[in-house]
Structure 1
Amino acid sequence: MSVFDRLFRIGKANVNHAIDKMEDPVKMIDQILREIDKDLEKVTAATTSQIAVEKRFERELNAAKEMAEKREQQAIQALSGGDEQLAREALTDKKRFDDKVSKIQASYDQAKASSDRLKQQLQDMKERVAEMKTQRSTLIAQAEAAKAQEKINQVMSNVGTEDLGAVFTKMEDKILKMRDQAEAAQTLANEGQELDRKMDQLLKETRDSAVEDELAKLKADLENNKSS
């Protein structure tokens, strides 16, 4: 049973419903094309057989016409030679071939009409199949786009635009908080460095003061020694 038989067996009113239930339309398209190709082969074989029948009748018809023409020429030759009886026999046989021509002509005309009809149907079918195969890539692209859209719709329905906005707001707040914490840490680090600098300056000044005091003491001692 072909895919078309399976679809239309349930009635045209339910065809669309059956198609809607198909999970993979791309596979369905390829299946339809495969079955159409098989049907095309069958129609081609039937058309070929019918053309063969037509050709056979055509050969028989031409042969009967040739024999009828031959017998007529023979009758003329017999009369020209003075043999009326032989001419009569030739015309009698010509009449037999004329009758045969009439019978074969009817069969040939019927066979040719069937051949012409089948050839036209086969041509129409080939054109339709070619058109469907050309459309295959477009249909598949549309199916893939529909699948992608369906996935997007599922994601959006699960998350929602409002939820997405809330998530982004929270992420923004978190990033700002991280930035503030980093800046605060940097400020504290700078303050610590400033304190160290001040301490170093104080220690330096203390050391410098001690040196100056020691230097003044040495000078005083020298002055005292000179005075003595």
Structure 2
Amino acid sequence: MNIFKRLYAIGKAEVNSVLENFEDPIKLTEAGIADMKDQLTESVEALAQLKALSIRKKNEAEAESLSAKDYYAKAVLLIQKSEKGEVNAADSDRLAKEALKKQTEAQKNAELLRSETEKLQDECEKMQTNIHQLKSNISKWENELRTLEARVQVSEATKDINRKMTQIDSSSAVSMLEKLKERVVQQEAVSEAYSELAKTGKSVDEEIDSLVNNADTEAEKALQKLKKTLKKG
């Protein structure tokens, strides 16, 4: 039973329902391919039997043809022996006639077997063509199945993405962005606080030296400026 018979067996109403679901055609296709592979196996076995019969008929035809030649040779030999006086003429003629009858019968059998062999060979060629076509169809359907399975995967992935997208509305997206912004601001504030703590982490001596050194530097600058002024005056 092929896929179309399966579809028919399911029933029109159920078929329409099945075809609405993308997974069911995959199962139907797999079943159809399995049916065709079973049919292919049966066809190959039948072809082997048919070829065996054709070979047998061909061999039988050749055997009958050889038998006809043998009977003809025997008839000729009997006549020759009769003419030479080696055998009784009446017996020779009687047996030669029988040999010729068997020769004719063998020839007819050979012709009939050759005709049957030709018919069987024609049937073998037709069956071989059907097997090649069946193999081609199986390959085609398997490719279609792989394509169908890929489409199902893409469809499922797309459906999943679309479902997730529909669950995220604009308000929730804005809320997520606001929370992210608040988190960044908080992290920046924490970073600045650590920086302030680092600055205030100096010892009392370090603070005194810093101010003293800074004062000496300022005084040195003022002194140098005063000297330049006096030189110009």
Fold-level similarity (TM above 0.5): yes
On the 8 A contact 2:61/2:114 being kept in 1, the answer is yes
TM-aligned CA deviation for residue 70 of structure 1: 1.4
Matched residues in 1 for 2:157 and 2:47: separation? 44
Equivalent positions of 1:51-66 (< 5 A) are 51-66=51-66
Aligned to 1:119: 128
Aligned to 1:210: none
Structure 2, gaps ≥5 residues long = 84-91, 209-233
TM-aligned CA deviation for residue 9 of structure 1: 3.9
TM-score, length-scaled by structure 2? 0.63
Amino acid at match of 1:99: K
Aligned to 1:72: 72
Equivalent positions of 1:119-198 (< 5 A) are 119-133=128-142, 137-156=146-165, 158-159=166-167, 163=169, 165-180=170-185
On the 8 A contact 2:64/2:107 being kept in 1, the answer is yes
Q: Sequence identity of aligned pairs in percent?
A: 22
87, 95, 102: which one aligns with 2:96? 87
Q: How many equivalent pairs are there?
A: 194
On the 8 A contact 2:71/2:100 being kept in 1, the answer is yes
Matched residues in 1 for 2:35 and 2:189: separation? 74
On the 8 A contact 1:57/1:108 being kept in 2, the answer is yes
TM-aligned CA deviation for residue 3 of structure 1: 4.4
On the 8 A contact 2:18/2:24 being kept in 1, the answer is no
Amino acid at match of 2:120: A
TM-score, length-scaled by structure 1? 0.64
On the 8 A contact 1:57/1:104 being kept in 2, the answer is yes
On the 8 A contact 1:25/1:143 being kept in 2, the answer is no
TM-aligned CA deviation for residue 84 of structure 1: 4.0
1:31–1:95 CA distance, 2 compared to 1 (3 A): same
1:41–1:19 CA distance, 2 compared to 1 (3 A): farther
Matched residues in 2 for 1:37 and 1:104: separation? 34
Which SS does the other structure have where 2:23 is aligned? coil
CA RMSD of aligned residues (A): 3.9
Amino acid at match of 1:123: H
Which SS does the other structure have where 1:174 is aligned? helix
Aligned to 1:41: 41
On the 8 A contact 1:78/1:84 being kept in 2, the answer is yes
On the 8 A contact 1:72/1:90 being kept in 2, the answer is yes
1:58–1:183 CA distance, 2 compared to 1 (3 A): closer
Structure 1, gaps ≥5 residues long = 205-228
Aligned to 2:107: 98
Amino acid at match of 2:150: A
